[in-house]
Structure 1
């Protein structure tokens, strides 16, 4: 393919490749290269303007005294159409300007020493461009936006940055910053103005939102109310905001919702990294006639797993507790063993953005291929609790999550034995800095206490391995070695993972992509002292998609000496 004709060749030379690429990309000379009718007089004028533009661009990066040398070789013709020769810019940026001081001025009700001084101190201490830092326009903009977000996050939603100034001493490469922030009044929530509630009523919206008139404004309270409404499944979209036309000190809250259809079908085709192509179908009825509960039916089919489930869920009460009952039938290939199982459950559940609780009675029955005992049954009473304290429930970058499941019951049939089961898990995301990413530490541990594990369904025991546990191994392929290549579930489980997640940057700006380096470990055994670690390690990529993080991991299973690709979507804890 022939090269695109240009009027002149254009090159930037600099010791810093980022500076070179930045100028080449943003300077107007690149655009004028395509003008075939350009002459020497016009090019000379453009080079004068280009010098000013280059200095302005370098100033945005903190270089206010660059040495720029232009070369215009009129005899050098890059091709037949390059009749104006070659233009070369040599760049010596000189030292970057650094911030020497930051002066704050505060206005509004946050100047009250009893309420606003703490927030003032937090904003000033966490200021993103402190003395000693290199001044750039992008860093200046980011720091101001962060300070404003901190101001309006609690109590002061009408806060604004009324004035900002960067005084630059170009001779000494120093910058002095001045900011004036007006908090406005302390705001409390007023009445709820709900629009769009027709099929399911305004009372249900109020129960799920849990926003009461008179409570202090917190931006996070509005976001959590929005999440509760969306996660309920009754609404396709929810938008919650303060009414700017209302009273400033006690602002009304606008809740705009779009209700879900009373019935909905969802069909899906996908690929699981552990079992290949997967077909799914789901039907939701949001208000069963007469009962007014929500019913969700699901079917999923792939090479290793075929399942059908039905769940009935009552509307939430004033404390967000909901009655629920469910049934699930499943046929699963676990390594070389086929297991058919049923699970029936009834109880109550409370789901919130930060804390989930549930208690329920459960009946299990499982039949394992070539098992002379046939179907094995049990019933149990259970309690589950999960707590999340992450900065974002969709794309967390810091925080802690803890969860525990407790159960006790007895096996059924000719041999009846009591048993107890517990499982604990945790996730800690530890930030290392804006440019350094974060460390994610994950761990889980559990056990089943019973005299003989053969007398309870294998679904009450433990297996591990797969996308969200020990990558590099197939789903639930780590367990007890039964001989002849067969793997069985065990009474003890232990897993752990450490992962470094690092943001990818392009031309100084953070993108929606991240890289990951990780090591996973897991073990299953019938005795605690027999737990034998199965290690894996690998690298991965993360993409912040509209539906949540998409994870792509390539992991090496140490015990198998094999690599495996894992794909998954979303963040769950």
Structure 2
């Protein structure tokens, strides 16, 4: 039994004896192959090694195949591993390889194979190397044949995770210590491999470096292997180093925009314990603000004190203006054209302004919103307007909307409070024709608690919007508008080869406009549903209320629910980035809760975790309308 801090090689007396026996057998083999050539050669062993190393620098694809390597084992995965990683494979395409060099490669192949097997936890393998001369016409003059009996795989008998002072006795670090110990991946009874051992140590170190201790390192690690018993005792000690706190933010590359405003966007909590998540969130806020083409934040651990460490923000400013043209198509609204214009410092307020012109078959819209730099608490003023012509069920509606208020985005939570003025005019020759206007005070809250912002596999999101309003025309009456939504991903089952699991996606959406029955509110404040992101199997916003003339129109009450089962797809035994989904959607809209009719859609689809975000394609059957529709969607939003 031996101790080592690295997994490069594990030697026991038993394995050493096997190795010496293998060396002796191979030496006799090579002497028989080359006769007296070994003794009578003009090159020294050192010169031969140098020559072999020079030959190894030549591309492995040069020349004809001089020999091949065949590995035979009852465990095909072990055979494939050796065939792929044996060093001797680098020399298979050297037809002028000297016999003495070839024989040296044979001897080294035995040691190399034992090291590769030890890395997989097999310390008592039985190896036999032979050279097989092949008949002419086969294409390969000879083959190195490796017979492998790996033996019993070593397992972890015990593991120990410790911490050096001062962290070991620091009560504030107790939760962090327990979290690392609880998440330690190499548990008792697990197979002991080089990959798993290194991964376990690295994962513990990364967990330590994420919070309070960015300069943490591994002080000592040992793997005590009893090859005779096929048992391993592992231990690691982490040296956390000093605890760090956030200090001032140093900006580099800022010339066009207000430096204090940029710091307010980053919102690094000066004086708080260092957190990698806080740093990455600040970096994401800067990158998403639109003021920069790139943003990178790092903690200066070399030139600043741990209790007041400087955060260095390396920024590349974006130009004042940007125009983006977009052309697309959707299964909801058909072809789509958009033009987006951004001005990061529009006169006279100097606010960032985003304007858009969007045209499709159901909606034509021009909008603009201006947002100020946030203050020290993260709140930013905004104001905007929108002019829209849209299909509202079976009728057309021209609408104008004006908003103004404040917003704040911190961590997982977005908040807004604002005043909103709406006026809508419905056209169509039915009883719905006419105009209505209102003013409303709103509060909007959204919390996102997903494991990924762009492509989540677990977690949940909640959203709530509440508005208290007053109609201005055609009469003056109060009303209340509320909109609640939720989404949760529930993973279950075993992970596949790339760590993915099956999951349930459960979604809910509720909306209500509470007012007296005779109150007419703007059409843009009523609810419609159906389409790619709501009730699949039905057209975009084709589920609503019915007027006396049977015209489809927005309703005061809406309820939507969905349950979707998603599972990863394995092709030919290999995990992929594709998935399969089956779902049931249901939704209802009405002016009276007692008259709500539920529309149900069922279907199936595929999912692809693309480099730019999730993509989905669904085929859904609308039960009530007895129709089949295709739905396409890209990206994730909540």
TM-score by length of 1: 0.86
Alignment pair present for 1:552 and 2:588: no
SS where residue 351 of structure 1 aligns? strand
Alignment-derived partner of residue 215 in structure 2: 158
Quote the Cα distance in structure 2 between the aligned partners of 1:416 and 1:483. Answer: 24
Separation (CA, whole Å) in 2 of partners of 1:41 and 1:370: 98
User: Cα distance, 1:537 vs. partner?
Assistant: 3.5
Partner of 1:261: helix, strand, or coil?
A: coil
1:404 Cα offset (Å): 0.3
Structure-2 change in CA distance of 1:69 and 1:492 (3 Å): farther
Quick one: which of 232, 242, 245 aligns to 1:185? Answer: 242
1:123 deviates by 0.8
What do residues 531-563 of structure 1 show as CA deviations (whole Å, max 9, x unaligned)? 415133424323252x5x232233433524525
Tell me the residue number matched to 1:107: 164
The secondary structure found in structure 2 opposite 1:462 is coil
Partner residue of 1:284 out of 301, 322, 342: 342
Aligned position for 1:61 = 120
Alpha-carbon spacing, 1:242–1:416, altered in 2? closer, same or farther (3 Å): same
Deviates more, 1:101-110 or 1:61-70: 61-70
Structure 2 residue 432 is the aligned partner of structure 1 residue 378: no
Alignment of 1:477-488 (within 5 A): 477-480=542-545, 487-488=552-553
Q: Which secondary structure does the structure 1 equivalent of 2:260 belong to?
A: helix
Shift of 1:102: 1.0
Distance (whole Å) between structure 1 residues aligned to residue 470 and residue 535 of structure 2? 31
Alignment of 1:289-300 (within 5 A): 289-300=347-358
- Between 225-234 and 393-402, report the one with greater CA deviation: 393-402
Would the alpha carbon gap of residues 249 and 48 (structure 1) be closer, same or farther in structure 2, given more than 3 Å must change?
Answer: same
Q: Give 1:272 shift.
A: 2.8
Deviation at 1:300, TM superposition (A): 2.1
> Is this contact kept in 2: 1:235–1:259, CA < 8 A?
yes
Q: CA deviation at 1:114?
A: 2.1
1:413 corresponds to: 473
| Contact 2:325/2:340, CA 8 A, preserved across alignment | yes
Q: 2:366 is matched with which residue?
A: 308
Further displaced range: 477-486 or 123-132: 477-486
Structure that is richer in helix per residue: 2
Partner of 1:365: 424
- 2:511 aligned residue (432, 442, 446): 446
Count of aligned pairs between the two proteins: 564
Match of 2:8 in 1: none
Where do residues 473-512 of structure 1 align in structure 2 (5 Å cutoff)? Answer: 473-480=538-545, 487-500=552-565
Contact 2:458 2:489 in 1 (8 A): yes
1:344–1:185: structure 2 CA closer, same or farther, 3 Å change rule? Answer: same
CA contact (8 A) 2:537 2:627 kept: no
What value does the CA root-mean-square deviation take over the aligned residues? 3.6
Cα distance in 1, alignment partners of residues 567 and 537 from structure 2: 21
Aligned with 2:405 (options 347, 350, 366): 347
Distance 1:507 1:461 in 2: 50
Q: Which has the larger radius of gyration?
A: 2
Cα separation, 2, equivalents of 1:176 and 1:350: 51
Q: Is the 8 A contact 2:437 2:474 kept in 1?
A: no
What is the rounded CA distance, in whole Å, between the counterparts of 1:32 and 1:261 in structure 2?
54
CA change 1:400–1:565 in 2 (3 A) is closer
Corresponding residue for residue 586 of structure 2: 522
Whether 2:519 is the aligned partner of 1:457: answer no
Structure holding more strand per residue: 1
Separation (CA, whole Å) in 1 of partners of 2:93 and 2:334: 50
Matched, 1:240 2:297: yes
Secondary structure of the residue that 2:353 maps to in structure 1? strand
Aligned CA distance change for structure 1 residues 37 and 340 (closer, same or farther; 3 Å): farther
Provide the rounded CA distance (Å) in 1 between the counterparts of 2:343 and 2:388: 22
In 2, Cα distance between the equivalents of 1:50 and 1:369? 85
Matched with 1:425 is 485
SS in structure 1 at match of 2:172: coil
Change (3 A) 1:46 1:466: farther
CA distance in 1 between partners of 2:410 and 2:429 (Å): 43
The 3 A distance-change label for structure 1 pair 167 and 305 is farther
Distance 1:16 1:332 in 2: 65
**Distance change in 2, residues 1:25/1:344 (3 Å):** farther
Measure how far apart 1:337 and its partner are.
Answer: 5.3
The structural deviation recorded for 1:285 is 1.0
* Structure 1, unaligned runs of 5 or more: none
Aligned partner of 1:203 in structure 2 is 260
**Greater Cα offset, 121-130 or 326-335:** 326-335
Out of 452, 461, 466, the residue aligned to residue 401 of structure 1 is 461
Greater CA deviation, 377-386 or 37-46? 37-46
Displacement of 1:27 in angstroms is 4.3
Deviates more, 1:556-565 or 1:205-214: 556-565
The equivalent of 2:607 in structure 1 is: 541
Deviation at residue 425 of structure 1 after TM alignment? 1.4
Tell me how far apart the structure 1 counterparts of residues 544 and 69 of structure 2 sit (CA, whole Å).
63
